[in-house]
Every structure is written in C-alpha cells, then in structure tokens.
C-alpha cells in the first residue's frame, strides 16, 4: 500500500516536471519584453547574448562563440585565399547599441559593437596589393570596435502545432571596420621570414585598404551563419515565448 503510494506520487512528480519542461521551450535567459520599446529590447538582447552565443544544442542552435570555420575559400581578383581550421571568438561580449522592432511593418533592426578575433590556418596564392604571394601558415585577425548594423525583414508563420513563430525573410547589413584591425600572419612567402614580416608590416600599416579587399567575403560568411543560427532559434521557440506583445495579423 505504502509502496504503491510512493510509486504513484513518484509518477505524479515525474508527470508534473515533464509537463513543465514541455510547456516552455525558450531557455530561462530569455526575458520577453512587454512592449517594443528599444530600451527593453536592447536590455533583453544584451542579457541573452552571452548564453545564446554558447549555443543551445537542445534546440539545434550551434555555438557562435567560439564559432568554427572549417573552410572558407575567398576568391578575389588576382588572389585566392583559403582559410581553414578556423575559430572566431568574441561575439559573446558584443555590446548592443540599438534594437528596433516594427512588428506591423516586418522590420527588425539590430546594431552591435564587437571585438572579434579570428584564428586559423590559411593558404594564399596570387597577388595582394603590389606583392606576389605564395604563402601557407597561421593567421590571426583581430577586429576592434567594429559596428554591425543588421536590417532584417521578418515574417510570421505557424508551426505544425499551430503556434506562431518569427521568421527571417531577408536581411541587409552595413559593417564599419572599427578602430583598428590587426593582422598576424606567418609565412606569407614560403621560406622567407624577412620578406614575410616586411609585407605583414605593410599590410598592417594599410589595414583599411587590405580589409576592404578581404573583409567583405569574410563578413558575408559570418553574418550568413549568424542569421541562419537565429533562424534555427526562431524555428524552435514560438513567438509568444519571445515577446509579450500581440502578434500582428498575417
Ligand atoms: C512584463 O510584465 C510583467 C507583469 O507585469 C513583469 O513581471 C515583467 O517583469 C515585465 N517584463 C519586463 C521585461 O519588463
Ligand atoms: C574592445 O576592445 C577595446 C580595446 O581593448 C576596448 O576598449 C572596448 O571596450 C572593447 N569593446 C567591446 C564592445 O567589448
Ligand atoms: C548561407 O548559409 C546557407 C546554409 O548555412 C548556405 O546554404 C548558403 O549558401 C549560404 N549563403 C551564402 C551567400 O554564403
């Protein structure tokens, strides 16, 4: 009798805790705003970034910090660079400058300031600025105080359980390279460390021009991954767990 009671209460506890788990999908660090005032959205986004960047494996959301770059080929006029075995870090410390959501107009704007370090291996063949390059080695790119403005066109959709979700239809961005970018690249000229160092120094002195050539494909790639990661999150977590504002008719 007593044993049965224990069993029944154990099952009850199990049922209740399971009920709790399935009721809410959003992780606890998500604090929904009651309105779309930028002040609340900025704080909620800022508070979510450190945990969100670690990844949410239970929701199929990969890590953004560190963020693994297995292989990124960059074909530019005159030079082919392949970046591989790479890792980008720093996203979890991004400072949120602004967040705007216009639910009716399907507009979501995000502005962040970040320090990002990208480390990995590379091969490069071709010409860069004035120099013929044939290199293979390690490289590190340190981006200081870059400002990224992301303009997202959103949409809404229902999942198979008939719950509403945010969706991302398309996006545009602007990227301000910030105060400084520091390149540390070894072996730009195979077997000639002196020339490699001289050219590296030149690249760093002219980092703005170098970055304008190089930066675009890298940033395109990084933002594509970031937006796709956000999509996975929005696919998993329903609208009403992210924002306590009635969803517009759609
Ligand atoms: C939203 O309103 C609820 C109830 O008044 C409150 O507990 C909660 O803190 C508010 N959320 C935010 C992010 O201000
Ligand atoms: C980026 O690094 C610089 C220099 O180390 C620091 O002053 C700045 O506060 C950092 N910015 C962010 C957004 O972490
Ligand atoms: C963006 O990422 C998706 C999947 O992650 C990929 O299919 C697509 O080709 C990428 N687009 C660009 C422009 O890199």
Distance CA 54, CA 65 (A): 6
Confidence of residue 22 (pLDDT cuts 50, 70, 90): low
CATH of domain 32-241: 3.15.10.30
Q: Which CA distances in Å does 165 have to 29, 89, 159?
A: 19, 29, 7
Confidence of residue 76 (pLDDT cuts 50, 70, 90): confident
Measured from the Cα of 43, ligand 1's closest atom is 13
Nearest in space to 239 (alpha carbons), one of 176, 175, 154: 154
Task: Tell whether the torsion through CA atoms of 81, 53, 144 and 121 is positive or negative.
Answer: negative
Find out whether the beta carbon of 170 lies less than 6 Å from any atom of ligand 3. no
Q: What is the mean pLDDT of residues 77-104?
A: 95
Over the Cα atoms of the chain, what is R_g?
A: 23
Q: What is the mean pLDDT of the chain?
A: 89
137-176: per-residue pLDDT in tens? Answer: 999 999 999 999 999 999 999 999 999 999 999 999 999 9
* pTM attached to this predicted model: 0.85
Ligand 2 surroundings by CB, under 6 angstroms:
93, 95, 113-115, 144-145
- DSSP one-letter string for the chain: -HHHHHHHHHHHHHHHHHHHHHH--S-TT---BSS--HHHHHHHHHHHHHHHHT-BGGGTB--SSSEEEEEEEEEETTEEEEEEEEEEE-GGGPEEEEEEEETTTTEEEEEEEEEEEEEEEEEEEEEETTEEEEEEEEEEEEEEEEEEEEEEEEEEEE-TTS-EEEEEEEEEEEEE--SEEEEEE--SBTT-HHHHHHHHHHHHHTHHHHHHHHHHHHHHHHHHHHHHHHHHHHHHS-GGGTB-SPPPP-
Measured from the Cα of 221, ligand 3's closest atom is 14
Find out whether the beta carbon of 35 lies less than 6 Å from any atom of ligand 3. no
Q: Residue 12's pLDDT is what? A: 47
User: Residue whose CA is closest, atom 6 of ligand 1?
Assistant: 34
Q: Residue 21's pLDDT is what? A: 45
State the distance from the centre of ligand 3 to the C-alpha of 70, rounded, in angstroms.
14
Q: Residue 20's pLDDT is what? A: 47
State the distance from the centre of ligand 1 to the C-alpha of 34, rounded, in angstroms.
6
Minimum mean pLDDT range among 78-82, 141-145, 176-180 = 176-180
25-65: per-residue pLDDT in tens? Answer: 999 999 999 999 999 999 999 999 999 999 999 999 999 99
* Ligand that comes closest to the CA of residue 225: 3
Q: Residue 133's pLDDT is what? A: 87
212-241: per-residue pLDDT in tens? Answer: 877 778 888 889 999 999 999 999 999 999
* Ligand that comes closest to the CA of residue 223: 3
Q: Is the pLDDT of residue 10 over 60?
A: no
Q: Residue 249's pLDDT is what? A: 92
């Amino acid at each position: 009798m007593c044993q049965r009671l224990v069993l029944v209460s154990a099952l009850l506890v199990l049922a209740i805790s399971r009920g709790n788990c399935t009721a809410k999908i959003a992780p606890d660090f998500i604090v929904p705003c009651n309105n779309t005032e930028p002040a609340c959205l900025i704080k909620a986004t800022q508070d979510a970034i450190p945990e969100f960047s670690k990844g949410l494996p239970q929701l199929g959301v990969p890590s953004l910090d560190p963020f693994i770059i297995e292989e990124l080929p960059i074909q530019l006029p005159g030079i082919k660079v392949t970046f591989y075995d790479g890792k980008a870090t720093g996203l979890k410390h991004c400072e949120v400058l602004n967040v705007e959501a216009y639910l009716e107009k399907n507009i979501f704007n995000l502005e962040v300031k970040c320090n990002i370090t990208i480390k990995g291996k590379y091969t490069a063949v071709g010409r860069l600025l004035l120099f013929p390059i044939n290199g293979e080695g390690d490289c590190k790119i340190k981006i200081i105080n870059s400002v990224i403005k992301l303009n997202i066109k959103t949409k809404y959709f229902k999942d198979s359980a008939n719950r509403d979700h945010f969706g991302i239809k398309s996006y545009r961005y602007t990227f301000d390279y910030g105060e400084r970018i520091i390149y540390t690249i070894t072996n730009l000229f195979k077997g000639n460390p002196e020339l490699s160092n001289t050219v590296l120094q030149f690249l760093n002195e002219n980092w703005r021009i170098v970055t304008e050539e190089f930066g675009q494909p890298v940033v395109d790639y990084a933002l594509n991954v970031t937006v796709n990661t956000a999509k996975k999150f929005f696919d998993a977590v329903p609208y009403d767990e992210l924002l306590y504002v009635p969803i517009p008719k759609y």
